[in-house]
Structure 1
Amino acid sequence: MSSPLPPESHGSGTPATDDLPLAKSPPSTQRINLHCWSKLPSELMQLVFDRLGLADFQRAKSVCSSWLSVSRYSEPNNQIPWMIRFPKDNYCLLFNPEEEDKMYKTPNLGNDFAKSSCVASYRSWLLMQPKLEYMEDHQYNLYILDLLTRERINLPSFVTEFGLTCPILWMDEKTKDHLVIGMADDDFGISFKKGDNTWKQIPGIEECFSMVFKDHKLYCLNYYKLKIFDFSGDIPVKVFKTCVSECLKPRGGGGGFMRLPGFPVNDQLSHRKDNMVVTLCGDVLIVQCHRPSFSKIWKFKIDKMVGNNKWEKFVSLRDEAILLDLGITVLAKDMQGIKANSIYFSNPTPYFQDQYDKNEIFIFSLDSNTVEQPHRCVSSSFPRSRSRWFLPSFKRE
């Protein structure tokens, strides 16, 4: 199997054109030679290959001709967050933390890709929304795009002033069933799923600023209530509600922003965001992050729901890491390329900063209370681009 994306050194290279092949059944091995790695049963080798990340997958298939043959019937697995950069062009740059000196370049993703912003992701699927400067009459035409295969799903248009906020994307990679949820002008929730003809309003969701979708449940947070809706049926049903005033306080308006000449915009802005996170075991966390203007120090406060209307300070993630943009945690124990008890996040940007087409991503360690950026080659390649953490999938079930 050819590499799904060609390796690129510091942002140069040729886009790939081949899609990922579907996995096939490998030829059976007739004889087993226990003294030669190249003679291991192909069925056993496929089980090993299917558990390898992209970097180890590429190394393993280059060992010998028999391993290369088996790799053609396997696909790399992935359980660690990658970084995706969006230059002002019709492609993306991908960074794998397992390979600190390499970036990958996607194929051309369409003529309108550069005119859109990625507002949500699920595995290798991106939810794309048109940028304000390319809008007409506030009519938004969103679409879902697989950045590896370039498969595209167009969604019905809807009219709103600010587009879809707090967006959620979910995709069944086998059936291609999909669900998109968000807030329309921050006033009410709307959703669209495969089979619908138009967007539908979700009763009971209003003034929500953070959403997480996990195990067919939608978690909605505002400064007063946390609500949980069950989406397993035809109609969403509210199944839980609790007060968050104990740990979360409404913020007053920040007023206008006056840019000072001679200083980077990101340094002048005060970055602040309140997020909800659902852990692997189903615990609900509220994560508050803040970085004052002209400061390099990030501060995090995490509270965990321990009962109805009860919250307690959360200290350690232990063997997990938070992917703040996705609102989830992932297992990080004994895994190369991801740090346990850490928060992977992009700096929150006010709505008016879209004109600058730039943000940065970081890793915050709860052990040392320090923040770091990814490898230098990532930060130096296309510094004027937007970025986010995501969990790409190279498997096709």
Structure 2
Amino acid sequence: MTLSESLGLMLFPKEGGCMLFNPKEGKIERKLGDFPGCRFLANSGNWWLVLDSGCNLSIVDVFSKETIHLPPLESIRSSNCFKRVGDKRFLRLDSTNTFVEQDSDADDVRGLLWVDEGAKDYVVVWFFDREYDHDYTSFCKKGDTHYTDIPLFYPDNHWFKGLSEMVLTGYSLYITTSRRFVRVLDLSGSSFKEITRPFPMLSCHESCDSSIAVTTSGQVLLVESDPWNRTWFRVYKKNPDLERPDSSCHTVLEVDSLGGEALLLDLGVTVPANLALGIEPDSIYFTRHYRPSHWSGRDLDICVYNLASKSFNRFSDLDFKGLTDARWFLPGN
């Protein structure tokens, strides 16, 4: 079995390009190309969401180099005007086209990707990563000639506003708001629709890094870790017995296993354990929190944490300082 069929690490050096790292052998397996001027935003299996130097989005198979070109960023179906100004600057105007609501730079574009390898269906979600100021995210699917806006604000409920993390699995988009409520959206139609009322995922611990994840059965998990030394991880599920979760400050229950599955936190999903593919049960494969955003001050910490034994496997031979990013990679996921 080749590494392109099993679990590996994609490394993104500061000088550009990407490389495939074999965690079992502890060595670089192969260089996958230079991709000059490109940023890798997200992946689904061997398909990667790429933004080039001309601010064009595309989906690229990093092995075959097959490319699917996506609509221009400014092609958004929205209630207000969104336009490109210059090489990398984008403006969003109000409904009267008079006042600038948002002034954004292409360097702040972040995204998510899901690809159905068999049917070649795909969903792309992207947004401008503005600290404490996320008003919209946009998405498109196969066959779309434009993106559709998803507002990230609620005029009557500030608990449901903003964005801290997102997970995309199939046509379901999970958004954690600034106040730690989770929205679940269905993107399978011509627009989007809320699947359920937003619900809080709050632990009793405040000084933690955190992420959400979704299991193969669709259960939402909260994952926390020590932001200073990374000496532990905690995993929680939603507490189903709370009568008034919206007014509670602790809405989750800690779990001590992943039910034999493994968590690829870069993708925000669990997958079945498979020792032949290098996937250990009840293990968290980690590089950093807060994807797809990019919080400054959060360094890479490439490791595997086993929930059952409370033990770490770290990759001390890797030069983290020479990397801009790294992501756990599994073909087909």
Compared CA separation, residues 250 and 207, structure 1 to 2 (3 A) = farther
Counting strand residues as a fraction of each chain, which structure ranks higher? 2
Q: Is the 8 A contact 2:140 2:146 kept in 1?
A: yes
1:197 paired residue number = 145
Compared CA separation, residues 348 and 284, structure 1 to 2 (3 A) = closer
Compared CA separation, residues 360 and 142, structure 1 to 2 (3 A) = farther
- AA paired with 1:372? N
Question: Out of 29, 49, 58, which is 1:127 matched to?
Answer: 49
1:387 paired residue number = 326
Q: Is the 8 A contact 2:174 2:183 kept in 1?
A: yes
1:218 paired residue number = 173
Alpha-carbon distance in 1 for matches of 2:288, 2:201? 25
Alpha-carbon distance in 2 for matches of 1:105, 1:333? 23
1:71 paired residue number = none
Question: Out of 120, 127, 132, which is 1:183 matched to?
Answer: 127
2:273 paired residue number = 332
Alpha-carbon distance in 2 for matches of 1:116, 1:90? 8
Deviates further, 192-201 or 240-249: 240-249
- AA paired with 1:183? F
Q: Secondary structure at the match of 1:115?
A: coil
- AA paired with 2:40? C
- AA paired with 1:190? S
Q: CA deviation at 1:365?
A: 1.8
Q: Is the 8 A contact 1:140 1:163 kept in 2?
A: no
Query: Does residue 57 of structure 2 align to residue 142 of structure 1?
Result: yes
Query: Does residue 210 of structure 2 align to residue 274 of structure 1?
Result: yes
Q: Is the 8 A contact 1:83 1:388 kept in 2?
A: yes
Alpha-carbon distance in 2 for matches of 1:239, 1:301? 27
1:85 paired residue number = 11
TM-score (ref. length: structure 2) = 0.72
Aligned-residue sequence identity (percent) comes to 28
The correspondence of residues 291-330 of structure 1 with structure 2, limited to 5 A, is 291-292=227-228, 296-307=229-240, 309=245, 310-330=251-271
- AA paired with 1:172? D
- AA paired with 1:86? F
Question: Out of 297, 308, 328, which is 1:367 matched to?
Answer: 308
Compared CA separation, residues 117 and 373, structure 1 to 2 (3 A) = farther
Alpha-carbon distance in 1 for matches of 2:38, 2:295? 15
- AA paired with 2:265? L
Query: Does residue 10 of structure 2 align to residue 95 of structure 1?
Result: no
Q: CA deviation at 1:89?
A: 4.9
Deviation readout 1:31-66 (Å, 9 max, x if unpaired)? xxxxxxxxxxxxxxxxxxxxxx326xxxxxxxxxxx
Counting helix residues as a fraction of each chain, which structure ranks higher? 1
Alpha-carbon distance in 2 for matches of 1:236, 1:81? 33
**Larger-Rg structure:** 1
Q: Secondary structure at the match of 2:308?
A: coil
Alpha-carbon distance in 1 for matches of 2:332, 2:216? 18
Q: CA deviation at 1:189?
A: 1.8
Alpha-carbon distance in 2 for matches of 1:105, 1:203? 41
Q: CA deviation at 1:170?
A: 1.2
Compared CA separation, residues 384 and 89, structure 1 to 2 (3 A) = closer
RMSD: 3.1
Compared CA separation, residues 374 and 171, structure 1 to 2 (3 A) = same
Q: Is the 8 A contact 2:235 2:255 kept in 1?
A: yes
Alpha-carbon distance in 2 for matches of 1:298, 1:242? 31
Alpha-carbon distance in 1 for matches of 2:204, 2:144? 36
Deviates further, 334-343 or 230-239: 334-343
Alpha-carbon distance in 1 for matches of 2:277, 2:123? 32
- AA paired with 1:145? V
Q: CA deviation at 1:174?
A: 3.6
Q: CA deviation at 1:204?
A: 5.5
Q: Is the 8 A contact 1:285 1:302 kept in 2?
A: yes
Alpha-carbon distance in 1 for matches of 2:296, 2:227? 18
Deviation readout 1:316-373 (Å, 9 max, x if unpaired)? 114111111100011115445222211111134864469xxx7341111212323222
Q: Is the 8 A contact 2:9 2:20 kept in 1?
A: yes
- AA paired with 1:384? G
Structure 2: state its 5+ residue gaps: 75-89, 91-103, 154-160, 246-250
Alpha-carbon distance in 1 for matches of 2:230, 2:212? 21
Q: CA deviation at 1:141?
A: 2.7
TM-score (ref. length: structure 1) = 0.61
